[in-house]
Structure 1
Amino acid sequence: MSQLASMEKLFGVIDQTAIILRKELNCVYLEAVAETGENLFQGTILQEELDEVTKKRLKKEYDSITLDHFEKETIRKAYQLAILKGMKEAVQPNHQMTPDAVGLFVSYLVGKFMAGKDKYTLLDPAVGAGNLLTTILNTHAASIEHVYGVDVDDLLLQLTYVNANLQKHGVQLFNQDSLQPLFIDPVDLVVCDLPVGYYPNDEGAKEYKVRAEEGHTYAHHLFIEQSLRHLKDGGYVVALIPNNLFESEQSHLLQPLLKEEAIVQGIVQLPLSMFKQEQAAKSIIILQKQGEGVTAPDQALLVNLPKFSNREAMSDIMAQMDQWFSVNKK
């Protein structure tokens, strides 16, 4: 069976059983996806309140597949499809998923910047449903020693928990406001699709250097500062940022922090065609925390990506990037 056919088969089982559970448990589809994912992982039906007929219907679906026969990436993509379906059904601003192509490109950058490190630790302070994190883990798990994920949304965190379990990744998860104190040791790498917008907790924002003089502070600025706080010296942040990060009305508050505490190793602008509106467009920033022996590159990696579907243009860009890495990351 091809990978696509395998993924479609697994998605079909997740989807059909989630539909059954949504009706029987009177819950939203996303919650049912988490419930059915947990059933798949545990190899049993955990919802005791279901009647025998419903349990038999679910068991028939579950018995039609063997989870161990699926590759991790196939599981991630099938589960991702179900989550995307649920997010379209009940749109919430914080219920958005990092697109696959972006996740794979972030994973490529992680591999390049972390090359030479046998083992390293990883934190995603806005882990969401875990798609970006598990994309990276599926490529670099052998090098990643400890993994931490934080999110304030308990449903998204439950989806991450099931997502990681199904793919057999060990992840420590924390259900809390990521901008409050984190009881996590400093890590080597922070990856994050930064939540964009204002942070409503003005009192909490006062603990940060990038806080606004009046009114709400940008959450994405606070997340950058929090990420740098939780990095070891010389560690990296690889984060998705809004394109206007350095041109917004609060950018003058962020720039001194970056100058004092970090080196901007690179900025990669994602294709504008990926975004419905230009003002929603994003880039990937790579920051390195200042520390002994940390030096700035002669020239930062500055890239405007073409459409991912344009293979020739992408091949040219990747060759240019590989050349930059060969000079700056020996």
Structure 2
Amino acid sequence: MNLINTKMESLYTYLDDSAAYLEKAQNLTYLEGLAEAGENLFREEVCQNVTMEQKNWLLDKLDSLNLEELSNEDIRKAFQLAVLKGMKGAVQPHHSMTPDTVCLFLSYLVNKVIGKREESIHLLDMAAGSGNLVHALMNQVTAPLSVTAFEVDETLVKLAFVSANLQKHELQLFHKDSIEPISYNPVDVVVTDLPVGYYPKDEIAAEYALRAKEGHSFIHHLMIEQAINKTKDGGFLFFLVPNFIFESDQAKQLHEFVKGETNILALLQLPKTMFQSEQFGKSIFVLQKKGENTIQPKQALLAELPSFSKKEALSDMMKQINKWFKDELRIE
């Protein structure tokens, strides 16, 4: 095993052992214990109210690790592995994580549309979860980023916060429902793995064009509308959407709204092998908000991505995507 993997494994072992220990000692869930273990590591001290014996055990674990030896990607990946372990034991269906390969592919697409810019790009994630996607983007996107992220789940937002601290990432992270009225400057880029389902707050949904005519509205539709409204003219939006997004009874309404406000650039279906069953399949939906200098492509890029493990097929697909961006949007 090479040195980098060994260091990453050491961090994972620290996080896993300490999270499991705090889970029992403090009567927490594993994910809550993980956030506490990460906080201890960041502060280089035991932050919990524990017995002297428990404190010494936790301090011994802390002393076994030197965070300065690890890269941000090592930290992100080790933290992500521990979060994934915790999510397997969690009962909440919304506790899920954007797969690493998808994070890296989205980073490639964001780099593609941003190009070589020296000024800071304002990026928004409407539903950050444990922060894996937004932290991957902060590590992989070449332009300087100013990042705003929202997450409504208390445990997940704490995990995202701790992961940001460990990677020394600066971002505005809000423990808030991003569909509620919010005030901040329009952003250049939105990247969000959309939650899927019904939004329970009908009085807030009533203010949206994409509200349901009867019953609860779709949270993923409302989030798309909010994101478009919060994006600058000419800005880009990348959503992970369910494959069935244009098959529901509200699909026509969604399509008309999106078409009116944006240029639909691409719908890239993720490999079916990534999902337990077809009903959970997702696609990357790429939009550009209409503006003075935006180009309406003659044809949107529609493709089914090959397995990310098939390097040759993936390389061919990326050549096709690069050619499409060059031919249709004049983006090199």
Alignment correspondent of 1:304: 304
Alignment correspondent of 1:170: 170
Alignment correspondent of 1:291: 291
Q: Distance in 2 between matches of 1:54 and 1:260?
A: 59
Q: How far 1:290 sits from its partner (Å)? A: 1.0
| 1:154 partner amino acid | E
Alignment correspondent of 2:227: 227
Q: Aligned ranges for residues 53-202 of structure 1 at < 5 Å?
A: 53-118=53-118, 119-140=120-141, 143-202=143-202
Alignment correspondent of 1:268: 268
Q: Distance in 2 between matches of 1:116 and 1:262?
A: 23
1:267-289 CA distance string (max 9 Å, x none): 11100111111111000011111
| 2:313 partner amino acid | A
Identity %: 48
Q: Distance in 2 between matches of 1:46 and 1:39?
A: 6
Q: Is the 8 A contact 2:114 2:143 kept in 1?
A: no
Q: Is the 8 A contact 2:193 2:239 kept in 1?
A: yes
Q: Distance in 1 between matches of 2:27 and 2:9?
A: 26
Q: Distance in 2 between matches of 1:128 and 1:144?
A: 22
Q: Distance in 1 between matches of 2:243 and 2:128?
A: 21
Q: Distance in 1 between matches of 2:325 and 2:258?
A: 22
Q: How far 1:145 sits from its partner (Å)? A: 3.5
Q: Distance in 1 between matches of 2:193 and 2:310?
A: 24
Q: Is the 8 A contact 1:267 1:303 kept in 2?
A: yes
Q: Is the 8 A contact 2:138 2:145 kept in 1?
A: no
| 1:39 partner amino acid | N
User: Under a length normalisation based on structure 1, what TM-score does the superposition of the two structures give?
Assistant: 0.97
Q: How far 1:45 sits from its partner (Å)? A: 0.9
The 3-state SS of whatever aligns with 1:6 is helix
Q: Distance in 2 between matches of 1:145 and 1:99?
A: 22
Structure 1 position 18 matched with structure 2 position 28: no
Moved over 3 A (4+): none
| 2:255 partner amino acid | Q
Q: How far 1:132 sits from its partner (Å)? A: 0.4
Q: Distance in 2 between matches of 1:301 and 1:114?
A: 18
Q: How far 1:185 sits from its partner (Å)? A: 1.3
Q: Distance in 2 between matches of 1:91 and 1:75?
A: 26
Q: Distance in 1 between matches of 2:17 and 2:245?
A: 42
Q: Aligned ranges for residues 34-49 of structure 1 at < 5 Å?
A: 34-47=35-48, 49=49
Q: Distance in 2 between matches of 1:293 and 1:323?
A: 20
The 3-state SS of whatever aligns with 2:136 is helix
Q: Distance in 2 between matches of 1:10 and 1:195?
A: 30
Q: Is the 8 A contact 1:211 1:253 kept in 2?
A: no
Q: Distance in 1 between matches of 2:157 and 2:305?
A: 31
Q: Distance in 1 between matches of 2:20 and 2:124?
A: 33
Q: Distance in 1 between matches of 2:68 and 2:288?
A: 38
Task: Give the RMSD, CA atoms, in angstroms.
Answer: 1.2
The 3-state SS of whatever aligns with 1:126 is coil
The 3-state SS of whatever aligns with 2:50 is coil
Q: Distance in 2 between matches of 1:91 and 1:73?
A: 28
| 2:75 partner amino acid | I
The 3-state SS of whatever aligns with 1:260 is helix
Q: How far 1:158 sits from its partner (Å)? A: 0.5
The 3-state SS of whatever aligns with 2:260 is helix
Q: How far 1:4 sits from its partner (Å)? A: 2.1
Corresponding residue pairs, total: 328
Q: Distance in 2 between matches of 1:115 and 1:297?
A: 19
The 3-state SS of whatever aligns with 1:129 is coil
In structure 1, runs of 5+ residues without a counterpart are: none
Alignment correspondent of 2:8: 7
In structure 2, runs of 5+ residues without a counterpart are: none
The 3-state SS of whatever aligns with 2:146 is strand
Q: How far 1:24 sits from its partner (Å)? A: 1.2
Q: Distance in 1 between matches of 2:18 and 2:158?
A: 17
Alignment correspondent of 1:277: 277
| 1:37 partner amino acid | G
The 3-state SS of whatever aligns with 1:12 is helix
Q: Distance in 2 between matches of 1:24 and 1:183?
A: 41
Q: Is the 8 A contact 1:122 1:144 kept in 2?
A: no
